[in-house]
Amino acid sequence: MRAKRRKKKRWLRWIGGIAAVLLAGAGIFAYSIYHNVKQTAKQMYEDVDWKSEKRDEEVSVKEKTPISILLIGVDERKGDKGRADSLIVMTVNPKKKSVEMVSVPRDTRTKIVGRGTQDKINHSYAFGGVEMTMATVEHFLDIPIDYYIKVNMESFRDIVDAVGGVTVDNPFAFTYEGTHFPKGKITLDGEKALKYSRMRYDDPRGDFGRQDRQKQIIEAIIEKGASFSSLANYDDVLAAIGKNIKTNLTFDEMKEIQANYKEARRHIEQLHITGKGKMIDGTYYLLVPEEERLAVSNKLKEHLELKTS
């Protein structure tokens, strides 16, 4: 009987020892992730001279204020500041556990804040960088823009590859730059995802179809990046993010958003801005009717829990 007890105690010590080693290993791994994420956040952080004129009170992610984020996809090349290839506004409401996402067509004719001229909305980046882009989009949609995330579109493929590729539901078959994309659910690596998100001339909906494909890729990256399966190659994910993304979100704000807003990613609603194309002085513009702009603006305001117009 005593021998059995000694044997049982020995097994318990072995199990306890193994558990302690595993827990210690998990702790070291968790610290490594935390440390690397913190370093990546520092690398990504880019302070901008920005304060929204449409906020009466300070935003507090700790207090779960509904927030807006402007995603700026920039086609930057060496020696060229580039233009905003895509502008996507996301409003995130942690209480409603939802995200609303709208693409602003890059040819949209609007006032460029800081220049006082009417031009294509995406030219705001070439004229005045992130600050002028935020101010112009804020003016056009008449909602506060709280944060921005700038992504280098040319290196977009790195992020998709880092999360192990993404799966999207392609509404129709097409071929672009030598790659065929069949209709239905398809899995894309970084190179294919970049091509998939850029095609527009063979799309019956033109730039609007392209915008939807870009949003599909973004949603897929968010979903894949949030899953545990991506943890194994988190170093690659962080390296791709640190190299290709800039934001005015601090590390502490990112932590609060991760803690308080993460459930919102499960319910993403896509909004659309439509208009009519017109040539003005030899340049093509998209003219958005005021009632259309106002409808989208009010929808976003409601989601941000602000007064509608």
Cβ proximity of 150 and 247 under 8 Å: yes
Q: Which residues pair with 69 in a beta bridge?
A: 90, 147
Q: Is the pTM of this model over 0.75?
A: yes
Single out the residue of 132, 126, 124 nearest to residue 81, CA to CA.
126
pLDDT 10s digits, 159-187 = 888 888 999 999 999 999 999 999 999 99
pLDDT 10s digits, 105-151 = 989 999 999 998 999 999 999 999 999 999 999 999 999 999 999 98
Residue 82's alpha-carbon distances to 122, 139, 164, 194, in angstroms, are 10, 22, 28, 17
Choose the weakest-confidence range: 46-60, 172-186, 212-226, 251-265: 212-226
Residue 86 CB contacts under 8 Å (≥ 6 apart), including other chains: 71, 72, 73, 103, 106, 153, 211, 214
To the nearest whole percent, how much of the chain has pLDDT over 90?
50
Residue 95 CB contacts under 8 Å (≥ 6 apart), including other chains: 64, 66
What is the rounded average pLDDT of the residues 201-221?
83
pLDDT 10s digits, 68-115 = 999 998 876 666 666 788 899 999 999 999 999 999 998 999 999 999
With 80 as the cut, is the pLDDT of residue 216 above it? yes
pLDDT 10s digits, 57-67 = 889 999 999 99
Which of the four pLDDT bands, split at 50, 70 and 90, describes residue 202? confident
Choose the weakest-confidence range: 30-34, 144-148, 251-255, 286-290: 30-34
What is the rounded average pLDDT of the residues 234-259?
85
DSSP classification of residue 182 = -
With 70 as the cut, is the pLDDT of residue 22 above it? no
Cβ proximity of 215 and 101 under 8 Å: yes
Which of the four pLDDT bands, split at 50, 70 and 90, describes residue 17? low
pLDDT of 208: 80
What is the rounded average pLDDT of the residues 230-242?
72
What is the rounded average pLDDT of the residues 289-309?
95
pLDDT of 87: 92
pLDDT of 289: 97
With 80 as the cut, is the pLDDT of residue 191 above it? yes
**Among the residues of 163-287, which ranges form H helices?**
190-198, 207-226, 234-244, 251-261
Can you tell me whether residue 245 is helix, strand or coil?
strand
Amino acid residing at 243: K
CA 107 to centroid of chain Cα atoms: 21
pLDDT of 215: 80
What is the rounded average pLDDT of the residues 191-197?
92
